[in-house]
Amino acid sequence: MAIKSFNITVCASGGGGNFRSLAKHQFDCGYRISLLVVDRECFAIDVAKEYGIPYTVLYRKFLNKSFFEEFEKVIPVDTSLIVLAGFLPIIPKWICEKWERRIINIHPSLLPEYGGKGMYGVKVQEAVLRNHEKYAGCTVHYVDEGIDTGEIIIQKRIFVAEDESAWELGGRVFNEEIKLLPLAVKKIREEQLRFALDAVSDMKPSPLVSICCLTYNHAPYLRQCLDGFMMQERTFPIEILIHDDASTDGTQDIIREYEEKFPDIIKPQYQAENQYSKGKMVEAYNYFRAEGRYIALCEGDDYWTDPQKLQKQVDFLESYPDYVMCSHRYRIYFQQEQRMNDEITPIAHLSDGISFDLSFLVRGGWVAHPLSVVFRKSVLDLDAYSKYAMSIDAILFYTLLKKGKGYCMPDVMAVYRVHDTGVWSGLDMNNQRLFSIKARRIIYDIERTDEAALFVLSQFSRPMGRTLILKRCGLFVKLTKILISHFGVCCISRMWFNRLFLNKRLCVNELNQIEDFSKSKKRRR
């Protein structure tokens, strides 16, 4: 069943603390703020500008009685929920009825206590202290025609400390508010999704996500991989497509075991002969039979660690249609040493996640591994993709990012296993680089664009032995011809000299300079 984007409109009147928290947690909580509405000039507007969120100012003191008529006009038609985040005007009955159970508010008390007219801000905490309450807290509730009388959605309770002031208590309550409000929106969204799924429970729903798993002699690791799939907590149906490339070590027996347990979910395909050794794009076997709107990737020797992984990524892609893929951070496990790497990959600039595009990729940027990726099936042209005829991440990501942006979540949600029998991890560094160069050349042979040529060139920004290319004269000559035709003799000669004789890698600035030179040369023509 399709899941529509969960768009919210936020209303505020003051400092924008709760609004900032809502904006910050859009990605991980699965909603999108489509509009901020304020009734005066306030700091919430600055937050909207910071996060690139559209906003509207309805000056209540000027509009007076017509305020809510104008208010209703500006609410986007695709709004799933209106969130009051420190919004002072009292919502009239006719709007409450029209938007029944689709308007929520946060209040700084444990409702139904200390709600109603006159109970706002520090006045609430003064009343709590005056009555010697043991607990204070905050509540998110649905808005009805009364003041703070709507159905409670979620609450957070804290102890009242001795000798603290109303302002100190209010500060601690607010710290809980900014955590609670995004969670409440997430909760409502998930409840709506569950309701929608329950409504069609008598039908066999189509999978929203197709998990595509490749296996070959993964018997020691496969159970951990499949358990990672089955532990996913989700509000949508999935299918698990397993392509086994003629394993000989008991992998197929494990697949059959799980297929018996989960026959409606696990859908294997067994090869009698190894297809990868014949040069086949083995991942395409799963892509062609995938029924989901989204495709998630993980090979049988890797595994997922977060039960919310798929939900988080699908929520993001549903909320942001201009993104075509979503990845996340992961750890590396060295099987032979039985050691988990201390580093988290990728590590750069990811405290709050990072967006990336094709330009970032072709300049040597890398923020994804297949085990972390969920992408829209609609952006993968299988006929065009099959023309590349090579199974490697660079080709897949290049074809996806031609259609839109990618996003890497800061969450660490999977483990990549390095072992001697791994198709990729079992290769030494030089062979890995050689594969990458060949992949980029294949892309160039089909695309023949400056961008594809730059993707070839960016490989030389990575560590590489001096003799790797020189030993392969034919490849060296072909690459040189490609690069000279796009970027000129001088640029490429200098690059080869620095690379082969000084062992100097290209930096991003140099790549940008080379591309700029190419563009200026074309303009002169």
Q: Select from 177, 172, 205, 47 the least CA-distant residue to 107.
A: 177
Q: Report d(CA 224, CA 251) in Å as an integer.
A: 12
Catalytic-role residue among 107, 141, 243, 328 = 107
- Cis peptide upstream of residue 410 (ω within 30 degrees of 0): no
Burial of 425 (0-12, 13-18, 19+ CB in 10 A): middle
Are 355 and 406 in contact by the 8 Å Cβ rule? The answer is yes
Burial of 326 (0-12, 13-18, 19+ CB in 10 A): buried
Q: At which residue do the structure tokens 């609004």 appear?
A: 19
Are 511 and 458 in contact by the 8 Å Cβ rule? The answer is yes
Q: Would the CA dihedral through 378, 384, 387, 388 be positive or negative?
A: negative
Q: Report d(CA 146, CA 51) in Å as an integer.
A: 33
3-state DSSP assignment of residue 469: helix
Q: Select from 46, 37, 47 the least CA-distant residue to 12.
A: 37
- Asked about 141 being catalytic, the answer comes back as no
H helix and E strand count, the chain = 21, 17
Q: Select from 171, 158, 189 the least CA-distant residue to 32.
A: 189
414's tokens: 């999977």
Are 56 and 29 in contact by the 8 Å Cβ rule? The answer is no
Are 450 and 489 in contact by the 8 Å Cβ rule? The answer is no
Q: Report d(CA 181, CA 524) in Å as an integer.
A: 57
Q: Please identify every residue annotated as catalytic.
A: 107
